[in-house]
């Protein structure tokens, strides 16, 4: 009887040691994941395979994350180019062709520098609710129409702008940003 009791106690002790080691190693691994910046998280997203966002809203949410990284985060030149490359992967081929990589880099860089010189940051970016996404067909291609609002913090307070986006489904069934423009009359400033 005593040997059975000692065996059970030994098994429990070994279980506790192994369990404790497992918890510590998982805590360390999750702590290392917490050290990854938002820029790195966005850059590491594989947009060439099955991890591509499945819906127009998800595409726009990821695009907004990239926008927030541009304007709010610190990054190297190499990270900036990788962010821009990720944004271009979300673009319809027609939009990407109209914004060659080097030209796109320069445009975004100029906008970001302008924002930073004015001490502006994107405080919040949100996408239309699922019920507000409108779908249609243009020239035989499926299209989705949705909006994204951006709250920008600046010296004088906050401003809000709304962008209208059109996404088109490509030959692989992926939603891509075809066009966007600022919705007129939607910018407001609080002092």
> In the numeric block, which tokens belong to residue 98?
């109209």
- The Cα-based distances of 129 to 61, 71, 89, 122, 184 in angstroms read 11, 24, 23, 20, 20
Q: What is the pLDDT of residues 48-90, one digit of tens each?
A: 888 899 999 999 999 999 999 999 999 999 999 999 999 999 9
Paired with 177 in beta bridges are: 91, 167
Residue 67: HSE in the Cβ half-sphere, 13 Å Cα cutoff: 22
Torsion angle, alpha carbons of 165, 134, 189, 74, to 10: -40
Q: What is the pLDDT of residues 135-175, one digit of tens each?
A: 999 889 999 999 999 999 988 888 899 999 999 999 999 99
pTM of the model: 0.77
Q: Which of 156, 154, 135, 158 has its CA nearest to residue 56?
A: 135
């Amino acid at each position: 009887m005593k040997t059975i009791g000692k065996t059970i106690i030994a098994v429990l002790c070994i279980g506790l040691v192994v369990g404790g080691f497992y918890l510590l190693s998982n805590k360390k691994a999750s702590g290392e994941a917490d050290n990854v910046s938002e820029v790195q998280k966005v850059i590491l997203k594989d947009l060439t395979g099955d991890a591509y966002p499945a819906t127009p809203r998800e595409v726009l949410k990821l695009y907004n994350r990239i926008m927030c990284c541009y304007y709010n985060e610190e990054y190297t030149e190499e990270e900036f180019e990788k962010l821009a490359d990720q944004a271009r992967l979300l673009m319809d081929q027609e939009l990407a062709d109209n914004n060659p990589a080097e030209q796109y880099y320069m445009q975004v860089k100029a906008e970001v520098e302008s924002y930073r010189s004015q001490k502006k940051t994107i405080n919040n970016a949100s996408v239309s609710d699922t019920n507000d996404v409108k779908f249609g067909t243009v020239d035989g291609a499926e299209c989705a129409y949705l909006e994204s609002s951006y709250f920008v913090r600046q010296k004088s307070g906050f401003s809000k702008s709304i962008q209208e986006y059109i996404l088109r489904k490509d030959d692989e069934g992926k939603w891509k940003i075809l066009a966007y423009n600022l919705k007129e009359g939607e910018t407001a400033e609080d002092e």
